[in-house]
A and B are shown apart, each in its own frame.
Chain A
Amino acid sequence: MMNDRIPDGELLQRARSGDQAAFRTLVERYEQVVAATVIGMLGSGPEAEDVGQETFIRFYASLNRFREEASLKTYLTRIAINLSLNSIKRQKRFLSRHVEGDLVETIELNSGSGPADRAESREVREVVRHAIDRLAPKQRAVVTLRLIDGYSTRETAEILGLPEGTVLSRLSRALKKLQPQLQPLMEA
């Protein structure tokens, strides 16, 4: 494995000149950042894995265009969020075309479930996942970046290309939707 202390800039230069090991080191270094974003948006499962891979493939294709004005973390998060939003749109289109009424909700609820855990933590995970899945995609993006990834309002605004005021209003609306659903967990 390549040295973890090599700066991103050097790895980027090596990757641009065709060094695949250097690019792989970047993937390993930022895998967790991308995973937090796409699983936060989509829940764990094959769709999140696919969007995660696609994020790095897009990054690989745009290596020469990445000018390092934004940090690599922000850049990858932006790609991951946009691809996740596209995936949600595709899923909604598919569900509305092929699945009727209540079934949509059941499938959305189950789509994010990963391997079995203890019953209690699985229940918590499903309640949270269900609450997040019920948010509008744009609100879900703000919640993922602010609450899961831990970005500030300014960074979230930069990633989404929005004014800070819009981020705050979307977050406020999302929190008001989440609160009643997660109230039992807040009291526990």
Chain B
Amino acid sequence: MMKDRDLVDALGPIIRDAEDRRFEPGFSHRVMERIRAEAGAPVIVLSSALRRQFLRLAPIAAAVLVALSAYSLLGLGTSSGQSVLEAALGLEPLTVETAYALDQGFYTDGDD
């Protein structure tokens, strides 16, 4: 049984010399062409435009989220055993009656 070091010495040159590992001539030219093409690609313009729009709209969306959560909290309160999160999301309190009501709605919607 050959040791790993001997195998490296025996197989290394065979593997190394088996193949010509070069790109076709003109490789650097093709790379530079792709860089130029990708630099001018509309996707980059679109992504920076989207980022600008996101940064503009994100604070407004966050403010609306806070306002709606506050409205839900004030409107529903947490008295009916709801957690603060459920109340903030404006979820109806979950009782046996509301569960059955949901179920009925589901089946009647599906009937034609």
Contact = CB atoms under 8 A, between A and B. Distances in A.
Given A60-B35, A175-B7, A179-B2, A44 B19 contact: yes
B16 A148 contact: yes
Given A147-B12, A175-B4, A175-B7, A53 B30 contact: yes
Interface string B20-51: 11111001101110110010000000000000
B15 A143 contact: yes
B15 A148 contact: yes
A27 B27 contact: yes
Contact of B10 (A44, A125, A171, A186): A186
A39 B21 contact: yes
Interface of chain A, helix or strand or loop or mixed?
Answer: helix
A104 interface: no
Interface in A6-40: 20, 23-24, 27-28, 31-32, 35-36, 39-40
Contacts of B14: 124, 128, 182, 185-186
B8 interface: yes
A35 B21 contact: yes
Nearest to A175: B7
A32 B21 CA distance: 8
B14 to A, nearest CB: 5
Contacts of B22: 32, 35, 39
Interface in A140-188: 143, 146-148, 150, 168, 171-172, 175, 178-179, 182, 185-186
The 6 A-B pairs with the shortest beta carbon distances in the complex, nearest first, are A128-B18, A39-B21, A27-B28, A175-B7, A147-B12, A36-B21
